[in-house]
Structure 1
Amino acid sequence: MLIMMTTGQPDREAVPFWFDPLCPWAWITSRWLLEVEQIRPVRADWRIMSLAYLNLVQREGKGLSKDYRDLMTKAWGPVRVCAAAAEYGGRGVLGPLYTAIGTRLHNQRRRDDPSVITEALSEAGLPESLAEAAASTQFDQLIRDSHHEAFNEVGLDVGTPVLQIAGTYLFGPVITPAPRGEAAGRLWDGLVMVASTDGFFELKRSRDRTVKPSFE
């Protein structure tokens, strides 16, 4: 059965969240936002962006190592499938599909397993034939359109995730592991306060290279 977005939450604020399925940091942040849904009157509004488009097209591949360039080439596949799924079933299918893909790519560490996409489509109640979109450019314009919704506002010097909070587009939060319970709510409250501050542009610290994404 096709899983569609619920509409019975009129009192919940929609939070646009742009993700690329391949990004582990966006995955962690997305799990945090789902936690926030449990304790704050918000709901995630899942949207796609493309790291491949950002790095290989908009940034013209500048400064990329061969390994990272190869990874970006592979990144087209999953986001193309997400675009095809959204075209087929509406944007509401992106949440279940993202969860199904991300669990396999990140928690189960199956990045090189070709069965991930078809398994995820099946779990999300979508036709496995949509996996064919991974090798097609048919839905690339849909990807670009969704991508530009975020990056025309937030700029090209960031990546994913991008959220829209209190009318402001923000990169992040980049966190590991995802806060749970009221800790997740407090982080949300702080972001709302920051995003609501007139003239706010940036809040950042250098990342410790020893810190790796934790999916616990």
Structure 2
Amino acid sequence: MTTPNKTQDITFWFDAACPFCWMTSRWIKEVEKVRDIKVNWVPMSLGVLNEGRDHLSDDYKAEMKMAWGPARIFAAVATKEPEKVDALYTAMGSRIHNGDDRPRADKVAEAIPAALEEVGLDASYAEVAKGDSWDKELRAFHQTAMDEVGDEVGTPVIKFGEHAFFGPVITRLPKGEEAGEIFDAAARIAQFPYFFEIKRSRTEGPQL
């Protein structure tokens, strides 16, 4: 499939602490190199999504608690300096997910100030992670994803044109034209208004 003449608008909702979301985001960054797309990066929150789900394992609950901090920072940055969200996600995610298929508290804590400094954001954003002052905005960003796909999903949520879906979930990173071809397929499926779901059990975690 040849690259369309018209730029394709993509909305990508992400939680910076999720390794599966990180892998998909890196695929979209590869797609940017070979397809004419414009990506709007919007924070969402697995912490918000999983509120009240007491059946989750203790380990997963701990990860959800840890994920609130970065998500709150992205809510603040997306509100005040949205042009920096893309670069901040790359800077922070590269540190959080470097070699780990699950987020670790020490890496998250170290990633926040280093990533803010790398992209030229004020260090005071790091304080946002410690309180709930931006939770209203975070919940509002999160709700925009839920309005598109419902709440029986995870992260990422991607909107291709008029329709949004959870995923795609990938464990290994396609590059170059292969990344573009997978994007073409996903975008084409999204054009059909009556397509809802395709899924199989995962046999491996993200190969970061």
Aligned to 2:139: 144
193, 203, 212: which one aligns with 2:205:
212
Of residues 43, 57, 63, the one that matches 2:55 is 63
1:201, 1:85 → 2: CA distance? 32
Match of 1:198 in 2: 193
CA distance in 2, matches of 1:107, 1:99: 11
Q: RMSD value over aligned CA atoms?
A: 1.6
Shift of 1:88: 2.9
- Give the TM-score taking structure 1 as reference length: 0.88
Poorly superposed stretches of 4+, deviation over 2 Å:
11-14, 108-111
Letter in 1 for 2:167: G
Where do 1:27-46 residues align within 5 Å?
27-46=22-41
Supply the distance in 2 between the matched residues of 1:75 and 1:177 (Cα, whole angstroms). 23
2:75/2:141 contact within 8 Å kept: no
What are the ranges of 5 or more consecutive residues in structure 1 without an aligned counterpart? 1-10
Structure 1 position 63, deviation (Å): 1.4
**Sequence identity of aligned pairs in percent?**
44
1:179 aligns with one of 159, 162, 174: 174
SS at match of 1:45: strand
* 1:159 corresponds to: 154
* Maintained 8 Å contact 1:34/1:44: no
Q: Is 1:102 aligned to residue 93 of structure 2?
A: yes
Structure 2 counterpart SS, 1:170: strand
Q: Does the alignment pair 1:75 with 2:67? A: yes
> Gaps spanning 5+ residues in structure 2: where?
1-5
2:78 pairs with 1:86: yes
The SS at the match of 2:129 is: helix
Give the counterpart letter for 2:95 in structure 1: R
Give the paired residue count: 200
The amino acid of 2:68's aligned partner reads W
1:12 shift after superposition: 2.6
Rounded Cα–Cα distance in structure 1 between residues aligned with 2:173 and 2:40: 18
Between the aligned partners of 1:26 and 1:183, the Cα distance in structure 2 is: 19
